[in-house]
Structure 1
Amino acid sequence: MENTIIPESSLDFLHQLKTNNNKPWFEANKPKYLIELNHIENFAGALLHELSKTDVLETYSGKKSVYRIYRDIRFSKDKTPFKTFWGGSFTRATAARRGGYYFHIEKGNSFLAGGFWGPNASDIKRIRSEFAQDPESMQKILTSKSFVSTFGSLQGEQLKTAPKGYDVNHPAIELLRYKQFLIMKRFTDEEILSPLFLNQALETFQNMRPFFDYMSEILTTDVNGASTL
């Protein structure tokens, strides 16, 4: 099906926008932008449809998942008005299904990611208390064959030293240092444009589930394992 394929023109438009990142050029080329946006929204819709067969998501359509192309430049030194990538996300539904799936399509810099970008202080505290008591459960997920072959390793910002209340020699110190909990897989332009990419994207997101499910379990229980929902 055509709407499951990202055409090369969608990457080419981004490349042109990168060298002409100004409002007059964008307005003159807005019809072209809308055509390419439609391709991305259709692809996102197809991916959302397939992913919804195995997860509960509160994102209702491919169109709703795709981010606006306009940059928020109010607090940025970079005043270029437009993003030079297609980006979007699918949010896991209900309090019991925490985290979200993210896609980033850009010439030479495409990736799929998931996880917890900005957990609040209480969530980080709860996660660390679990890792401190039982690091093996998360380590088992992070060292599984499917995780390593797909994502490599857990990513995200880390403290340079031990978090407050933990010893620097704690056996789970590497996990305890994380402030973000992210996983990511990169794709080449050739992979993005391939008819196989929809299935590869779906498989990538599905391989996030053990990580998501365990993190959701942590964040919806107290230190004794009792539900907080």
Structure 2
Amino acid sequence: MSNTVPKQSFDFLKKLAKNNHRDWMTENKKEYLESEKMLKQFYAEILSGLSETDEIEKQKIFRINRDIRFSKDKTPYNVHRSISWSRAGVHRRGGYYLRLEPGNSLMAGGFFSPEPKDLLRIRKEFEIDSQPIREILSNKCFNMYFNGFNQKFVVKTAPKGFKKEGPNIDLIRLKSFFVTRNFTDEEVFAPSFNKNLISYYELFRPYFDYMSEVLTTDLNGESLL
């Protein structure tokens, strides 16, 4: 793979963080567009790599403009660049995510804020039998790079209809089911970053396959498709 994350993109984001207003962005729009062009070449490499072992339906590049309608922070621009790749077909669940930000880059994969029907189905599955998901999360290769589900989004005690003293309440309390891995700037700029990133994403596949089966069957294991 030839394309890497351009250092110019991080240079631009660092300057944006210090000059986060529309006048500055207008004056530096050319640099921004050049940075985006180079990043899109990098994204294309990742998409190509993912497509070798998975079916990707959609690539979404998140806007640099922030939605400030309901935020106390009125700075107009994100100081990171983010992208996601969605898997194709109702029988393939899960998605890949990447955020590039000076000093704060990360990758993620899984299920972020699933719709209520899916969330209940996942929780019911974990309530009945948590062994499959715990085996996936504790797999040696998987656990080498990811440290379990992100614990940022949880209910305080137990969701409605679930016992707070249940043996699997640690999983049931979660509102999202995704894992993350952070990267230093040195790792991001390394020539091997493309290859490494794709190999990390491929570690998600057993998890995605398991969750896809859960979300396309009922509690008796009967197909919903």
Larger mean Cα displacement after TM superposition, 34-43 or 154-163: 154-163
User: What does residue 123 of structure 1 align with?
Assistant: 118
1:91 touches 1:101 (CA, 8 Å); kept in 2?
Answer: yes
C-alpha distance in 2 between matches for 1:215 and 1:82: 35
User: What does residue 22 of structure 1 align with?
Assistant: 21
C-alpha distance in 1 between matches for 2:69 and 2:155: 29
1:44 touches 1:66 (CA, 8 Å); kept in 2?
Answer: no
**Percent identity for Structure 1 against Structure 2:** 44
The answer to whether the aligner puts 1:176 opposite 2:172 as a matched pair is yes
1:155 touches 1:181 (CA, 8 Å); kept in 2?
Answer: yes
User: What does residue 45 of structure 2 align with?
Assistant: 46
1:150 touches 1:207 (CA, 8 Å); kept in 2?
Answer: no
C-alpha distance in 1 between matches for 2:198 and 2:110: 16
User: What does residue 166 of structure 1 align with?
Assistant: 162
1:109-144 CA deviation, whole Å, 9 max, x = no partner? 000001111112211111111111111010100110
1:88 aligns with one of 63, 83, 89: 83
TM-score by length of 2: 0.96
- Count how many residue pairs are aligned between Structure 1 and Structure 2: 224
1:30-55 CA deviation, whole Å, 9 max, x = no partner? 11111111111110100000100111
C-alpha distance in 2 between matches for 1:183 and 1:111: 10
Secondary structure of residue in 2 paired with 1:31: helix
Unmatched 5+ stretches in structure 1: none
C-alpha distance in 2 between matches for 1:107 and 1:178: 29
1:44 touches 1:65 (CA, 8 Å); kept in 2?
Answer: no
RMSD of Structure 2 on Structure 1 (CA): 1.2
Secondary structure of residue in 1 paired with 2:12: helix
Residue 77 (structure 1) shift? 1.2
User: What does residue 32 of structure 1 align with?
Assistant: 31
User: What does residue 191 of structure 2 align with?
Assistant: 195
Residue 211 (structure 1) shift? 1.2
Show the 5 A alignment for 1:89-168: 89-156=84-151, 157-168=153-164
TM-score by length of 1: 0.94
Counterpart of 2:22 in structure 1: which amino acid?
A: K
Residue 148 (structure 1) shift? 0.9
Counterpart of 2:134 in structure 1: which amino acid?
A: Q
Secondary structure of residue in 1 paired with 2:125: helix
Unmatched 5+ stretches in structure 2: none
Show the 5 A alignment for 1:63-82: 64-82=59-77
Secondary structure of residue in 2 paired with 1:40: helix
